[in-house]
Structures are given as structure tokens and as C-alpha cells.
Amino acid sequence: MSPKSKANYIYNSFESLALSIIDANWKNQKPVLFIVVYRPPGPYSQFLLDFSDFLSSILLSWDRIIIVGDFNIHVDDEGDSLGKAFNDLLDGTGFIQNVNKPTHSHKHTLDLILTYGTEISDLSVHPHNPVLSDHFLITFQFVLQDNPPLVTRTQMKRTLGDHSVSEYKQIIQPIFASMSSNYEGVMSGLAVNDEFVDRVLFTFRTTLDVVAPSKLKFVKPRRASPWYNAETRSLKQSTRKLERLWRRSNTEHTLSAWKHSLVTYKQALRTAKTRYYSSLIEENKNNPRFLFSTVARLTNSHTSIEPYIPTTLSCDDFLKIFNNKIATIRNKINESLPIIRSDKVQTKNSESPINPSKILNNFTTVDQIDVTSIIMSSKPSMCLLDPIPTKLFKETLPLTIDTILNIINTSLVTGYVPQSFKYAVIKPLLKKPTLDPDILANYDLFLTYHSSPKSLKEW
């Protein structure tokens, strides 16, 4: 890694020293521009104009920028006019101000770290040392690394298009019609036959394998950002066109037009990114797990990394922990039952009348309208144990609803849950990323598919 001095940018309202930092191992990545700035106290109208022009000029040539220095601006004071104008300038150009603590003996934030296109970590504002300066020492780290190469990987995928869905419907329609007409579980009051349920699930799976078999495909990761839309693409094209025009003509007018277009493009890109994540969070505001993972990606939190489970821990170890938790809950419920019963006896002996408690003897069956409404309003997500994708299940529901309804109602009438529905995918997750992964007590068990009790009457 070798820093190189750059031509300094000359302005009357502030001083600056610029360095470019580059590594010899980098191949496809531009260097980082590192700038130290000092703005003396005093009038600031000219500074805002100069600094705006300064930021616009460096944004033309640099993708990653770090600016540090003593700006003598009270960015911590919301009522300070200079601080407000300065923050608006940073917002308009896409720079991020990273210091949020006092950096001066008078308890104001004067020393700033501005970043563009890169991130810093481990920022610390050290205690004041009056022997050295009335300003506090600030330290931070930033990583300089080349973009990793795109690695092509293989993955088993299905191609489920409109033709496949139509073919799927044609195959299962006569099969489920025959199943429904020959099924007498609900009419006779018998328990749902596990073999029948297995045959239904088997039909779902095998038919899907026929019309859309899983094939090994090469998947190439893309760096394209999901918020990159038609508007930002058009602005980028216009900016590149103005850049070529300026390089051919080399006039002040074309240079000014290129600068303005570039700043507009970068601001639109930042706005599109903000809108994308705002919309994503709003759509999933009732899904805490998705929100936490989204925030983890935005903040580069370690919680977004898949936890490593030591090979010394087996599935049986986690199963034992899971069963012990369930047993503990049941024991606590049983211990509290005598207290509840004694309270009821005292209430009955009191002078105030009390209605007899209602007892649940059986479950009420459901009709086709209720089942259809619940299924069609369910989320499109699916589990590893699902025989077919949820979207396909919804599209074929009119052809399978009679069989599904028979299975549900027979289970409710007899109080018996089919064996095929008693499986669960359990994913161990560390309660905190800093905990020791070798200790079982540090894990939470996240159910991605809920298992059912052996019998509904057990509840």
C-alpha cells in the first residue's frame, strides 16, 4: 500500500491536503482519496460556496473519498445556521458525517470525518489531553480491499412457467377428483388414514417433478443494485454523454454541465436507495425477523452472517434441548393448575354468583369458504418440507380443495393429526453473535415449520 500526494485544491476559505491511497495488488479498483481539511473560524458564506465546488470537483474523478479535519462548525447544534447549511450540503452530495460526539474542550463537535463510497469502523473519540491540544484525538479504521471476483456456482432449480402450471393442473385434476369421490373419512367419522395423506403429498411432489424437474444450473452472482431503476440509468447515460462531450470540447460550459449532471445522478441514486429500503421496511413492518436481517445487512452487522455450528454438537443434542424446554413448560403449567382450581373453589363459595365454566368437548368443522380464505390470504413464503411452492398450491386450490377439506375436517372430528404433519425443521441460532457457539445454552431454536401434537385432544 502506498499513499501518493495529489495536487492540492486551492480555496481562500479553507486549507486542504490530499493523498491517494492505493495497493499494488488492486486490479480493477480505483484508489481512495484521503483529504485533510482545516477551516479557520469566521465568516462562512464563501466557505459554503467553495466547499460545494470542492466536493463537486472531487466527485467527478473519485469513487471512494475520506475527508477529515477541523471544520470549526457546530454540527451538533441544531440551531446553528452554518451547521444546518453544511449538513444540507453533505446530504445533497451523498457524503456521510460519522462523528457524533464532542471533539473540543467546549463540548462541541468541530472535528469531522466525511466518507463517500467507503465505510469506517472502530471510531473512537479519546479523552481530552490539555497538554497536547484543546481538541480531542479521533481514531478510526477503514478497509482497503479489491472487489472479490464474481464466482459462478451451481444450484438445483426448477423452471415453473405458465405452461408448466397448466400441465400440472391437467395432471392432478382427475387424480384429486378420484380421491375426493372415494374418500369417506368425514362421513363415517373415521380417523384420517396416514396412508391417504401420504398419497396426497406424494401426488403433489411427483407431479411437480414431472412438469418442472429440478435441474443443475449455473448461477452467476450479480452486483447490480436492486434500487437501480430506469430513472437512474437514464441519468447515468446522460452524465456519461456530457462527460464525453466535455473531453472533446474542453470548455467551461460543458464542464459545468457535466458537474451538474453528475451531482444530480448521484443524488438520484441515493434517493432511489433510500426509497427502496423504506418501501422494503414498510412492506415487512410486521415481520421482525426480516426487519432485523435487513438492518443487519445495512449496518454490516455480524448478525447477518450465518452462524457456524461446531461439529461437536449433533442434531440429537439440539433435540434434547428442545424437548427439555417443552417438558419444563408443561411442568410449570401442571404446577400452576392446583392454584387455579383452588381459586375457583374459593370463588364458588363466595356470595357473588358465578357462571359454570365452559368445557371444550370437540372442535367445529370448517367449510370450503373458510379454508379457501385462509389459504389465499397466507404469505407466499414456504418451508423446506412443503411438497410444492405456496404460489402453485394457491393456483391449483380449486382442483384440490375438496380433498384438503376432507383431511382437515376429519382431523378436527377425530382429534388426530396425520403423521406426515408431525415434522419440523429446527434451525439453531445464537442468542447473541458474541456468545460461545460451543455452549448449547447460548442457542435459540427457531422453528421454520411447526410440528403438531400426536393428538389434538392432548391440548
Question: Distance (Å, rounded) from C-alpha 164 to C-alpha 274?
Answer: 38
To the question of pTM greater than 0.85 for the whole model, the response is: no
Q: What percent of the chain is helix, strand and coil (3-state, nearest 5)?
A: 45, 15, 40
**H helix or E strand, kind and range, residue 332:** helix 315-349
Question: Rounded mean pLDDT of 224-245?
Answer: 80
Question: Distance (Å, rounded) from C-alpha 444 to C-alpha 429?
Answer: 5
- In 3D space, the residue among 427, 424, 415, 423 whose CA is nearest the CA of residue 457 turns out to be 415
The three grid cell numbers given for residue 366, joined into one nine-digit string: 370448517
In this structure, the number of other CB atoms found within 10 A of the CB of residue 427 comes to: 15
Least confident range from 52-66, 182-196, 404-418: namely 182-196
Cα torsion through 337, 342, 343, 348, rounded to 10: 130
φ, ψ of residue 161 to 5 degrees: the values are -95, -175
| Region class of 117: left (phi > 0), else alpha (psi between -120 and 50), else beta | left
- pLDDT interval class at 183 (50, 70, 90): confident
Domains and CATH numbers, the chain: 2-142 (3.60.10.10), 315-348+362-458 (no CATH)
* Max CA pair span of the chain: 100
The three grid cell numbers given for residue 151, joined into one nine-digit string: 464466482
Q: What is the pLDDT of residues 57-107, one digit of tens each?
A: 787 778 789 999 999 998 888 888 888 889 888 877 778 899 988 998 888
Q: What is the pLDDT of residues 433-450, one digit of tens each?
A: 677 888 888 887 665 544
